[in-house]
Structure 1
């Protein structure tokens, strides 16, 4: 049964204002895009503090005034049941007998990489082991990079969160003549464009050109005015790439590479089909075939939407991404920027019903700037998932515990999805729940073999070891 926390104000009721903290971004004065209440959106404002300490609703006039960030607090410790080697054993069990062909997992805590390893194989037709530098397609995990590169431009004053997209794309048109004039940068990154859910995704799947679909937005039905409702997008989300190009003079993928990949040491990361195919080792996508798996060549379709779904990266890269997003690379990603990106803007209650762990664990759900934000049994979790043919991935952070987790795999199986809630539960000490279909004897066997402390770092040797049985 889902636990209840009456003292906590649910995230589904929080509003826009926590996003835009003028003092936090320093160089550029900010003011929030217009926001009005929708049926399942907002009723109070959010600030960048833990969910259970959010202030009561303020007037819009008070909310837009500059305010300082809350002081950094000492992270809460991980619960005693948090055992990295056990999670590695679970991951290994998932690839046993090719239940899934290949998988990679990273766990970071307090600025250290506790584990970043590969399991299984890259391709059932050519069984090379997945290792820490095997590249996977990230699908919608790419959206966090789009929000971050935009935030870097905002933080240096090159544009504003409330800048209008039409100022950078003068030809942009919607079916409502006034809508394009209203659309802001923050609206795009928080999926508040006003279009129906996943507008033109089916056309992308039929190999339609992105630029042609942007022109066709003028004929797409609108469900609300920009900023007034949430509906997940891929085509419209990718408008942010045009804004980044117009602002920086660099192609979107080049800007991310120069400002994020290279300084963070994400040396395996790339954009696009050409990028993954040029990787020294990459995981092929797999789909069901008879009683097993068959590998495919990746489709170019969603790669055409670089901001929404264009990134390729290894688990070693994603460990560095988690370190950056958890505040341990302020030279690249300053803390005020992270606080802004990871603050919820709009409520997304349907996200609480998408899977068994969400139904049981989530008390509220929202979306920020390229990140989902959940109330996970009283803990703030910053999250995103992604899926495209033959690839899936999940990443999550618990900011108050300074924990980051990424799981990537190269098949359409949903089996590894249970790793994420399993690890989150152990981090906060919830009673074990069977989210993951692995050998129930693993925990007993591991306890007999490995008496090491629960959260002892795995060390450098396991960070790059491929497909090894846990010691």
Structure 2
């Protein structure tokens, strides 16, 4: 073991993480969980804990599929970056060149929005525009039309406000560029070459999985399994991916710079660089308040100064599922945690 590995071993013990995961399940804090830890391009741990379904308990394993919710945004940024790398798209390409019907309420604002603005939540809208309508079962196309009358927070490119509907316009750009549906392009360019064999998009995708974790809510003194809601699957680029922890370990390895045949280093550097500050996050949950020094958003990824370390991160939450993914480039370390409550 070289000195760096020895220092890491002193401060980082995979067994401690696995013990915490086991305890969360044993204490009934969550029904089931899957976790992957990757160091120096090698998988240190990728396994399941607890059960897929509190009513019909099957053990969670490395191939149990979970909803990724907003972790899906990193896949949208990644596949767009691959198209930029191919020379068929630019980060400063205008959205209206690919989605000519796109409109915003400020005069000429729609024509200013770039591909990078969409992926970094700088369209200029107020935060989470039309998420409530989405939750009320409105369809995606109808909501993109409603953006024409939505209130604006700033001119495009000038401020950050998190989006799901507007973010998903990147799917229309990918379709216009490739002639393939967004989900097909991600499968062809990311899932297949990285060996993400359990990964899919949409409600049909998760329900067709050989083994998948049901979402749960608290009720009647325990965990109650639900049927997954189709709602956020309607915005596939923002929240449509399903994957197992085996899949996500491969994705971590690639984003850690160890699959340059698929994701070259210069592309990763671009995706993982903050382009807009997100100071509101510094007032978020306890770990953010205690340890975040700066917070920003890149192209489908959050970028933090976390206790003096650069951390590339994204979280995700839809009814009955939670997910988080973090990379610490200076330690060549990555972790993904997926759970079903």
- The equivalent position to 2:179 in structure 1, one of 249, 266, 269, is 249
Q: In 2, Cα distance between the equivalents of 1:76 and 1:93?
A: 27
Between 1:197-206 and 1:168-177, the stretch displaced more is 168-177
Structure 1 counterpart of 2:210, from 249, 267, 280: 280
Displacement of 1:292 in angstroms is: 1.0
Equivalent of 1:98 in 28, 31, 34:
28
Aligned to 2:200: 270
2:85 alignment partner in structure 1 = 155
Which residue of structure 2 lines up, in the alignment, with residue 377 of structure 1? Answer: 307
Return the offset for 1:257. 0.1
Q: CA deviation at 1:197?
A: 0.2
- Runs of 4+ more than 4 Å apart: 74-77
Give yes or no for the alignment of 1:311 onto 2:241: yes
CA distance in 2, matches of 1:386, 1:149: 19
Shift of 1:98: 2.6
Report the CA distance between 1:78 and its aligned residue.
2.3
In the alignment, structure 1 residue 166 sits paired with structure 2 residue 96:
yes
Q: Distance in 2 between matches of 1:83 and 1:76?
A: 11
The equivalent residue for 1:227 is 157
Q: Residue 76 of structure 1 contacts residue 400 of structure 1 at CA under 8 Å; is this kept in 2?
A: no
C-alpha distance after superposition, 1:21-75 (max 9, x if no partner)? xxxxxxxxxxxxxxxxxxxxxxxxxxxxxxxxxxxxxxxxxxxxxxxxxxxxx99
Tell me the residue number matched to 1:342: 272
For structure 2, the residue ranges without an aligned partner over 5 or more in a row are none
1:146 maps to: 76
Q: Which runs of 5+ in 1 are unaligned?
A: 1-73, 412-471
Structure exhibiting the larger radius of gyration computed from Cα positions: 1
The number of residue pairs the alignment matches comes to: 338
- Counterpart-to-counterpart distance in 1, 2:170 and 2:294: 27
Q: Which has the higher helix share?
A: 2
CA distance in 1 between counterparts of 2:7 and 2:92 reads 37
Query: Which of 92, 112, 115 is matched with 2:42 structurally?
Result: 112
Deviations 1:65-110 (A, max 9, x none): xxxxxxxxx9996261211012111100100143210000000000
Deviation at 1:150, TM superposition (A): 0.1
- For residue 407 of structure 1, what is the aligned residue in structure 2? 337
* Greater fraction strand: 2
Structure 2 Cα separation of the partners of residues 238 and 161 of structure 1: 16
Alignment counterpart, residue 290 of structure 1, candidates 201, 204, 220? 220
What do you get for the CA RMSD once the two structures are aligned?
Answer: 1.2
1:366 aligned onto 2:271: no
